[in-house]
Amino acid sequence: MVNLSMCYWVLVRGAGGVGKSITAWVLSQAIGGEYISIDKIVEMLAPEGCCLSPKMLASIACQKAASRAKETLALGTPVVIDWHFADPQALEAIKGELSGFQSFAFCLHAPLNTCLVRDAARERPVGEENIREIHARVSDLPYGIPVSTEGRTPDEITSEMHEQICRDIAAETLSFS
């Protein structure tokens, strides 16, 4: 029998270079969940020279992520979804697709300069212009519990997020008693 209390999903959003992917992956391991990276889905869908627009790619990737998340949640396994979610339509779409399950959302943040430095150090940088744009758009779309990543390790950030999830689940369980 599936443990319905474990059927929840976590959205980890924020600007590029803020530490979303590593934090989301570490969190998925901590909760025994599945990690879904929308960026990775976009990469699989969009080989070099792909003719789909970025908005169309994002829409298809969000649909695929939601479909995979539903399958996993139906088995009683939590899911952690990682992406910037700077577009309100994409955010609303995935929330709508997964509305039958308990959810938690975290918005990771760090100063723009920190995100730029981290991005420049990547094997495949997103680029300064993109980081600036996404940083501004994420900042303009307040959704999720804000969590600072500045000067913190992924384990410290994950611990804070995991504690919040546990508190919220405990509070909800007590309200049904």
- We report the CATH number of the domain holding residue 120 as 3.40.50.300
102's enclosing H/E stretch is: strand 102-109
In total, how many domains does the chain have? 1
Rounded to two decimals, what is the model's pTM? Answer: 0.91
The tens digit of pLDDT for each residue in 119-167 reads 999 998 989 999 999 999 999 998 999 999 999 999 999 999 999 999 9
CA angle, corner 158, sides to 118 and 14, nearest 5?
45
Question: Residue written as tokens 């599945």?
Answer: 34
Domain span at 134: 4-176
Question: Residue written as tokens 């924020």?
Answer: 14
- Model confidence at 51, pLDDT cuts 50, 70, 90, reads confident
d(CA 54, CA 80): 23
